Structure 1
Amino acid sequence: MADRRSFLSEGMVTYAYILLYIALSSGQIFFNKWVLSSKEMNFPYPLGLTLLHMVFSSVLCFLLTKVFKIMKVDEGMTLEIYSTSVIPIGAMFAMTLWLGNTAYLYISVAFAQMLKAIMPVAVFVLGVAAGLEVMSCRMLLIMSVISFGVLVASYGEMNISWIGVVYQMGGVVGEALRLIFMEILVKRKGLKLNPVSLMYYVSPCSAICLFIPWIFLEKPKMDARGTLDFHPLILTLNSLCTFALNLSVFLVITHTSALTIRVAGVVKDWVVVLVSALLFADTKLTLINLFGYGIAIAGVAAYNNHKLKKEASRGSSGDEQHAESMQLTSSSTLASEK
């Protein structure tokens, strides 16, 4: 009886972590859209917002690991690994968040989420180019299904903005390159980092990569407008939610697996698409939208299932599982979200 109660209690805790991740991930996307929207908070500076996230994450990681020592940073980092792997990861992470957040200025949250479904295609194509994936008829079919679904969803978009589409696709390419660099970091260089350690190393690098374009592109606009309407308390809360999202990813992976958070991510995507139609006036879903997105998600599910069988056949529950866990760590997933 005691064992059964312990099992039920552990299961409830696991589901609580999963629900926390879905809530934080979905909420962060809506929060970012609300902050950036000209009809809501009106902070139309995606570079500045993303830079704030990275600076906040860098400072908080330093305090947690070096000052208060609540968490531990994994060892093994060298100057050669940092310069050849961490810096490219940080640069691509900065590119992903910057372009992804900028897309919210032009397209709806729901449509942006639909376009993100093309991510496995970008990752697979770049993986083949880098020698990490092998082209096969099965994978080609799965990639075709996902691409077709995204095209149908795009065709059904009533108020399409091609500028927003370009920004979103740029963010997808940046994210795909980030995942490829992470896989190279783990598979070829053998360095294993938990999500907290990854944030500790990557966040400062991303902040530097964002600071340079921010100086030239957004700082003059922000100086001209002034800072009285920027609501520092809300922006700080937004950054804190981003950091909490990363920690929730860590909790879910620790208590379950990377596959679980993949499935939770699919649920989160549908929640974002449907709820955004209720929250934002610029979101108008059509049957073609939903039909195309459903096809794309079916392709994503087939892709995840194929990857799971591939990993099981190799018997690789160690390095590849950890690499997958690392790939799922994002900031605004976020943010911004991814």
Structure 2
Amino acid sequence: MPASSDAPSTTPATRDADARSRRVVAKALADNALVALWVGTSAIVILFNKYILTAYGFPFPVALTMTHMLFCSVVAFVIVRALKLVPASEGVTREVYATKITPIAALFAVSLWASNTAYVYLSVAFIQMLKALSPVVVYAIGCSIGVERYSHERLANMAVVTLGVMIASYGELNFNFFGFAVQLVAVLAESCRIIAVQLVLGKANLKLNSITTLYYVSPACFVFLIVPFAMLELPRLAYGLEVTHSVRYSAGIMLANAMCAFALNAVIYLLIGRTSALTLNVAGVVKDMFLIGISSVIFEAPISATQLVGSLIAFGGVCYYNYRKLNDAFAAAAAAPTQGEVGPKRDSQA
């Protein structure tokens, strides 16, 4: 009897549960580190772009975006084709590229073009406030395509976020309607792109990682940007360089900016591939609040009391939205092991 009391009390089920817990913790730590890296690189790129487009003297957002995409294309090509450090996806046929990759590239081009254009007309702080509308747009699109379930509570939550953004817009001291409209287009395009990337990486079985995604998306994105660049910016850029000499351009600064953009794009695709669009929304709240404060100091952009109240209402609504979504995710995760244990043991281990 004493010997039996000293015997190990663990069972195979207990050991399996402990192993699952350790895997969950390890994944959570890796995801949190990746989120922190995304917040940092995103802040650097946003402030760097704002500096180049306004203070530095290069007010050409399409040209700046094309520089980013060209650099990403070249680096990804060298990694995938020249050095062969990352294998290309065998599942990307011409049909798959045309039907799945190209639409993502088009949305990416519109998102980057519109977002960088908004920095010419609006403050970084106000743009981050407008980005609080992203969960609203993601939810609306998700309901329309059947990946989100409609509820009156969620609709009321989205209404609070929208109200906060409206108040913040009303309190903007340097409001510019064109910049406001362009940023709304950027929010819409970016929300569509995030959902599209998640669906492609998660359900199309293409096995794309962050580098191969850039390898396929960046060249198409660069091509899409050629048309607006030729129509809107090329004549102005040529005139500024050749006649007035009012355009500043430094290869070193542009290269450093492109390197930061490459790092950000790689982290974004890696983050979406490992987690979900919801993770970007959760981390985006922290990033946006951080950027609102630091940008108002760096670029001396005043924030009115009305604007501050509106942004707090909007971000409060976003936090509540993310809180409910996380609760749903935790409930689904808690139910999954129970469902997986039904049936023979060999099936649960497969």
Q: C-alpha displacement at 1:229, in angstroms? A: 2.9
Which of 298, 301, 313 in structure 2 is aligned with 1:279? 298
Alignment partner, residue 179 of structure 1: 194
Summarize the Cα distance change of 1:162–1:262 in structure 2 as closer, same or farther, 3 Å threshold: closer
Alignment partner, residue 23 of structure 1: 40
CA distance in 1, matches of 2:204, 2:159: 32
Alignment partner, residue 112 of structure 2: 97
Alignment root-mean-square deviation, CA? 3.1
Identity of aligned residues (%): 39
Describe the SS at the equivalent of 1:105.
Answer: helix
Instruction: Work out whether residues 296 and 303 of structure 2, in 8 Å CA contact, stay in contact via their aligned partners in 1.
Output: yes
1:1-338 maps to which residues of 2 (within 5 A)? 18-37=35-54, 40-186=55-201, 189-226=204-241, 229-249=248-268, 262-281=281-300, 283-315=301-333
TM-score, with structure 2 as normaliser: 0.78
CA distance in 2, matches of 1:229, 1:207: 22
CA distance in 2, matches of 1:117, 1:71: 36
More moved, 291-300 vs 199-208 = 291-300
Alignment partner, residue 323 of structure 1: none
Instruction: Work out whether residues 311 and 317 of structure 1, in 8 Å CA contact, stay in contact via their aligned partners in 2.
Output: no
CA distance in 2, matches of 1:11, 1:175: 25
Q: C-alpha displacement at 1:34, in angstroms? A: 0.4
Name which structure has the greater RCO, CA cutoff 8 Å, separation 6+: 1
| Structure 1 residue runs without a partner (length 5+) | 1-9, 319-338
- Which residue type is aligned with residue 57 of structure 1? C
Describe the SS at the equivalent of 2:178.
Answer: helix
Alignment partner, residue 332 of structure 1: none
- Which residue type is aligned with residue 246 of structure 1? N
Instruction: Work out whether residues 201 and 273 of structure 2, in 8 Å CA contact, stay in contact via their aligned partners in 1.
Output: no
| Superimposed CA distance per residue, residues 256-310 of structure 1 (whole angstroms, 9 cap, x where no aligned partner) | 98766654432221111001111113x1112222221122112222222333333
More moved, 251-260 vs 104-113 = 251-260
| Structure 2 residue runs without a partner (length 5+) | 1-26, 337-350
- Which residue type is aligned with residue 29 of structure 1? I
Q: C-alpha displacement at 1:18, in angstroms? A: 5.0
CA distance in 2, matches of 1:244, 1:85: 23
Instruction: Work out whether residues 170 and 307 of structure 2, in 8 Å CA contact, stay in contact via their aligned partners in 1.
Output: yes
CA distance in 2, matches of 1:124, 1:252: 20
Give the number of aligned pairs.
308
CA distance in 1, matches of 2:323, 2:307: 24
Task: Look at both structures and tell me which one has the larger radius of gyration over its CA atoms.
Answer: 2
Instruction: Work out whether residues 185 and 191 of structure 1, in 8 Å CA contact, stay in contact via their aligned partners in 2.
Output: yes
| Superimposed CA distance per residue, residues 112-155 of structure 1 (whole angstroms, 9 cap, x where no aligned partner) | 11001101111221222223322211210121111111111112
CA distance in 2, matches of 1:258, 1:93: 15
Summarize the Cα distance change of 1:305–1:74 in structure 2 as closer, same or farther, 3 Å threshold: farther
Describe the SS at the equivalent of 1:70.
Answer: coil
Q: C-alpha displacement at 1:316, in angstroms? A: 10
CA distance in 1, matches of 2:241, 2:67: 17
More moved, 93-102 vs 71-80 = 71-80
Q: C-alpha displacement at 1:187, in angstroms? A: 5.9
CA distance in 2, matches of 1:88, 1:254: 18
- Which residue type is aligned with residue 310 of structure 2? G
Instruction: Work out whether residues 73 and 196 of structure 1, in 8 Å CA contact, stay in contact via their aligned partners in 2.
Output: no
